[in-house]
Amino acid sequence: MLAAEPVKIGQLELKNRLMMSPMCMFCSDQTGLALPFHQTHYGSRAIGGIGLIMVEATGVTPAGRITHEDLGLWNDRQADSLRPIVAQIHASGSKAAIQLAHAGRKCEDEAMTPVAPSALAFSEDYRLPQELSPNEIGEIVDAFAAAAKRAAEAGFDAVEIHGAHGYLIHQFLSPLSNQRTDAYGGSPDNRLRLLREVLSAVRAVFPEERPVLLRLSASDYLPGGLDLTRTIEIVQQVCDLVDAFDISSGGLLQAPIKTFPGYQVSFAETIRQEAGVLTIAVGQIRTREQVEDILGNGRADLIAIGRELLRNPYWYLQQYQKELSAAGQIPQPYTGGF
Ligand SMILES: Cc1cc2nc3c(=O)[nH]c(=O)nc-3n(C[C@H](O)[C@H](O)[C@H](O)COP(=O)(O)O)c2cc1C
């Protein structure tokens, strides 16, 4: 029953090794506020015992959202709307984190101009983005920091920087989407610059004892794109600023991806071994057998569960019912149901 073992990310102690994977719900109002739906949605997964609840990708600027119904964190009203969610997560003994994101060229909101490292569209169905100037890049770095500061004030125990799935930071990291010739492109170090600037700026304002996580796509699954070897180097070059790496893959461009249960675990495993960092494995992990296998074999430190938790907020309580009942860890009001 390794899932139920406490784990520390930096100085943050989690009651178990399970994380609710960040999942955009696209159901905020158009101002980026968290609504009663979000309160119930995240609160119920905390009642369901998940140790770390990761609130979905939240835009650091209006144009940084994928759609106009994403959550936002560029003003204080938005931070205030998240506060009760944090409180409810804490009331269940779980910890609260929030994923900070900028969609870059994947912004689909017609009212916004999509921006990117280079004027290259994601696909024929997407608009051509505007290439960011160095000044505009600086403003986005500042926006990440301001959002992290608001997240701290709202009570979040951790933040995760979204560096995966073809969104802005990933667009800068991959040579397939970054064709700049200034300080932000042209070499691996230059393509890494935005990520390091974002992490440094966030680390400077986020309370020292609270962890900063980073989600990366370990492969673009395309020739000339990011691969595991390059991702290990990236991890080594930012691990002084990051407490745990949440390892996903893909999303930069349409690519042939073979998916199967646990298909991304080997990325998390290799990165953990090669870079000596804490990793979170994610992707089609649905059963306690998979969870115990991954943790027991030392392939990752934590497991993120996504869609299984959309289907069933009480997945963990059901999968581990016997042990949690014996340990008195079923939420008291629900013991009759278990
Ligand atoms: C509805 C939905 C929304 C998602 N939104 C996000 C997101 O906001 N940020 C992110 O990093 N990944 C997002 N993902 C990816 C999930 O976090 C997760 O990595 C993926 O679904 C694979 O895990 P699973 O097989 O357990 O669902 C989303 C996935 C789904 C299904």
Report phi then psi at 229, rounded to 5.
-60, -45
Q: What residues make up the domain containing 25? A: 2-337
Q: To test the ligand 1 pocket, which listed residue (20, 24, 216, 319) has its Cβ within 8 A of the most ligand atoms?
A: 24
Q: Which helix (H) or strand (E) holds 244?
A: strand 244-248
Is residue 298 predicted with pLDDT exceeding 90? Answer: yes
- Structural contact between residues 74 and 62, judged by C-beta atoms closer than 8 angstroms: yes
Q: Which helix (H) or strand (E) holds 326?
A: helix 321-326
Within 10 A of 36 (CB to CB), how many other CB atoms are there?
A: 8
| Residue bearing the CA closest to ligand 1, atom 18 | 306
The predicted structure's pLDDT at residue 1: 81
pLDDT at residue 285 is higher than 90: yes
Cβ-based neighbours of 292, under 8 Å, separated by 6 or more? 1, 2, 3
User: According to the model, what pLDDT value does residue 180 have?
Assistant: 98
Under DSSP, is residue 35 helix (H, G, I), strand (E, B) or coil? coil
Å from CA of 304 to ligand 1 middle: 10
Which tokens belong to 171? Answer: 């667009």
234 near 192, Cβ under 8 Å? yes
| Average pLDDT along the chain | 98
Which atom in ligand 1 lies closest to the alpha carbon of residue 162?
11
Over residues 273-294, mean pLDDT: 98
Q: Is the CB of 248 under 6 A from ligand 1?
A: yes
Confidence of residue 184 (pLDDT cuts 50, 70, 90): very high
Hey, is 284 helix, strand or coil? coil
For residue 7, give the nearest of 303, 332, 321, 314 by alpha carbon: 303
Is the minimum distance from the CB of 305 to ligand 1 under 6 angstroms?
yes
The band of 5, judged by pLDDT with boundaries at 50, 70 and 90, is very high
In which band, very low, low, confident or very high, does the pLDDT at 299 lie, cut at 50, 70 and 90? very high
CB 284 less than 6 A from any atom of ligand 1: yes
pTM of full prediction above 0.85: yes
The protein residue with its alpha carbon nearest to ligand 1, atom 7, reads 23
pLDDT tens-digit readout, 136-158: 999 999 999 999 999 999 999 99
Query: Is residue 99 within 6 Å of ligand 1 at its C-beta?
Result: yes
Helices (H) and strands (E) in the chain, counts: 11, 13
pLDDT digits (tens, 9 = 90+) for 152-175: 999 999 999 999 999 999 999 999
Helices (H), 154-217: 168-173, 188-205
pLDDT, tens digit (0-9, with 9 covering 90-100), for 240-254: 999 999 999 999 999
177 touches ligand 1 (CB under 6 Å): no
Determine if ligand 1 sits within 6 Å of the CB of residue 57: yes
Q: Ligand 1, atom 1: nearest CA belongs to which residue?
A: 23
Distance of alpha carbon 45 from alpha carbon 309, whole angstroms: 7
CATH number for the domain including 42? 3.20.20.70
Domain count within the chain: 1
Structure tokens at 30: 């158009």
Give pLDDT, residue 13.
Answer: 98
Q: How far away, in angstroms, is 25 Cα from ligand 1 center?
A: 10
